[in-house]
Chain A
């Protein structure tokens, strides 16, 4: 199975400051068609996960532009340019290039 390793696991951030989460995979996530199936999800307290980013850097409809994704191969990053109170929750990366689909352990973002 592809192991997805996120860091940090806990991320205290001051309101208005940037935040960055790293996700590394144990093997390349480039599929045979050239696409990279790496997504980022946000799970607010008591809610279902919500997709923010798909295929590394494509923002979902309705997701604020302060969220951005980047990376390639085995190394990926989710950045929040200016953290707001509504960003509190757990963030997960997920790969669906290889079976079985696997998730990172999650990064808990809190306001300092």
Chain B
């Protein structure tokens, strides 16, 4: 059974850093594109970043240079390192398997002073 379990969210001050983790089971993360999608409180869905099966990465413009997506094949886990966090990064962050058929339960990141 495919499962995605996110962790690492929390309350952080503006300018701080957090690392989100997405532990996968039931498939191999290195065989799929894996994305992070976020949802600000009461708002819609916004794609953030992807790591391709070949290891390449892509980001939305507003996080490029601040966020880094990576994976650890031995742990079957995908990460999102978030630096220089801003208030507008506050959201629930979901880990998603391409072809968009499995989503994690989400982890809440709150950026506030």
Contact = CB atoms under 8 A, between A and B. Distances in A.
Interface of A: 39, 41, 48-51, 54, 60, 90, 92, 94, 96, 99-106
Contact of A92 (B35, B44, B50, B106): B44
Interface residues of B, number: 18
Contacts of B101: 51, 54, 60
A49 B58 contact: no
Main secondary structure of the interface of B (DSSP, over half): loop
B47 A100 contact: yes
Residue among A39, A90, A96, A99 facing the most chain B CB atoms (10 A cut-off): A96
A-B interface, 4 closest residue pairs, ranked by CB to CB distance from nearest: A101-B47, A48-B103, A103-B45, A106-B44
B99 interface: yes
Interface string B35-66: 10000000011110010000000101100000
Contacts, number: 42
Nearest to A43: B45
A48 B58 contact: no
A101 B94 contact: no
Contacts of A92: 44-45
Contacts of A100: 47, 58, 60-61
27 contacts: A39-B100, A41-B45, A48-B94, A48-B103, A48-B106, A50-B103, A51-B100, A51-B101, A54-B99, A54-B101, A90-B44, A94-B45, A94-B100, A96-B100, A100-B47, A100-B58, A100-B61, A101-B47, A101-B50, A102-B47, A103-B44, A103-B45, A103-B46, A103-B47, A105-B44, A106-B44, A106-B45
A96 B46 CA distance: 12
